[in-house]
Chains A and B, each alone.
Chain A
């Protein structure tokens, strides 16, 4: 499935945050959205997901404008992984993941055995089956984030939108979560994700959307994550280093103190 944002403006009734944005996510593509706080990354996501109206231009899925799509129809196409937070009620992990089936259920129905099977497959895919019967509010932040990813893939979407999936995670879990997401993209799910770390893009995203005060730019990670672009985006000096790992070049973005 192809997501296309065509000359779109996003924002709120009284304030347009982003103007004239265009980019494309093709089937199985992994795109990372980089930009400083407040530049409008979340606004962009909210508009694609239909929480906010698109102010101008259009957002299409396989050429169809999604403006008039019903919530279940949109949910079957796009899965959303929000930043993990704690709900007020102690649902079990399986309960939470099964909610990913809601878009596929009739208005009055609840999950069937078939749905439970799909949910269990998602758990297995992410190697978190051991969490199944635990209470969602009592597991760790990293585990909660994985559960939300499992919930999103239980939705069987063709595009996954992840809002800073690595925030609040320790160093090891950040990398593990990212590698799991890359695995999903290898399986043909398109991925659009935000991150605050250019290194995350080096780790797993071939393509980057860069949002900063100069506007926006789309390109390959190697082209866009440069020392000057990082200075423009985040206002700090960085060095892009290359590390040789058994003949494979690994790039890394290192902040400088001056």
Chain B
């Protein structure tokens, strides 16, 4: 048996006089990273209770959890009970879910469309949901109506994208047509949002729409958890289960088929699931940008592009990230800063940093 080096030298491209710049061998411990990320998530989760107004110190928090789980009588004040269970826990859980959902659909879409510049709103889900919310606010709908309108309009927008692209697309470049149609539908719904704003009463409706679109979790209550959990569960399970197969699509439609992957079916399932996740996130928390774009990049840097690790890493990181952002939003300033502002202010420089540091994670 020849030494690997001898074999390798034989195969090195013939570049006389050029110094051999061989890529370095990288071995990743992706499983370990996932464990660490889970721990980070738990730490951020617990820490979130101990900051902001009505902060609950960690020992008391653990006592409450412990006694609740084992059905022991309360040793804490009624105020703590109300703050914890009606305000704090719902908000923390919803932040986790939205962060995880946006990151998972961003990671899925980046794989599906073979493009690391793709974010969850690529097919129009966010713009559609924003329009639904704006219309509901215009018609003085309740919080529940606004949320339902946003959710359904998000889904309608993606359906529109999907069927229009089916109608005009040819078999060969269907993905390109899909993405381009998504851009068209997005800007169409953005125009509808502007129209809604334009016709809105500038004294009460207009600021309400504007504020809703900026995103925030101020009004989250216990009811929101159940409203989010259903689409989240339905959406995230197939995304996680099928994730290994999605890897093949990085090599293009035909190669993936030759590897034995039914690309049409898998694409359809992923679009439905990612849409459920995105539309329900926007419905609950408004248009929160950047998370679905930045987090998959960070995950890819940590565990590599293999979706077997990259998708769970995105879910864990996304949950922790948005929770942290929401903690900052409600604690650092006297007035709550809308989430989309913070995700952009923190996300944009962070993204530049990622690009500068890990150039090879996407080129």
Interface residues of A (CB under 8 A from B): 46, 49-51, 70-76, 78-80, 82, 85, 87-92, 95, 99-100, 102-105, 107-111, 127-131, 133-135, 137-143, 146, 151, 155, 170-173, 176
Contacts and interface: CB of A to CB of B under 8 A. Distances in A.
13 contacts: A71-B260, A75-B259, A82-B255, A90-B360, A90-B362, A92-B26, A95-B247, A99-B259, A109-B244, A130-B8, A133-B26, A134-B23, A151-B259
A185 to B, nearest CB: 19
Interface of B: 2, 4-5, 7-8, 10-14, 23-28, 111, 114-116, 241-242, 244-245, 247-248, 250-252, 254-255, 257-262, 300, 304-306, 308, 360-363
Given A129-B7, A176-B11, 5 more contacts: A50-B257, A87-B251, A91-B304, A108-B241, A138-B23
A151 B258 CA distance: 11
Given A88-B115, A88-B250, A133-B27, A140 B12 contact: yes
A109 B250 CA distance: 18
Contact of A71 (B252, B261, B361): B261
A135 B26 contact: yes
B248 A91 contact: no
Given A75-B259, A110-B308, A89 B250 contact: yes
A49 to B, nearest CB: 6
A104 B261 CA distance: 10
Given A89-B116, A134-B25, A71 B11 contact: no
Contact of B14 (A105, A139, A172): A172
Contact of B257 (A71, A79, A139): A71
Nearest to B309: A110
5 nearest A-B residue pairs (beta carbon)? A103-B260, A75-B260, A89-B305, A80-B258, A138-B23
A71 B114 CA distance: 21
Given A49-B258, A92-B26, A172-B14, A87 B114 contact: yes
A91 B250 contact: yes
A74 B247 contact: no
B175 to A, nearest CB: 13
Contact of A173 (B11, B250, B257, B258): B11
B242 A90 contact: no
Contacts of A73: 260
Contact of A103 (B14, B251, B259): B259
Contacts of A171: 14
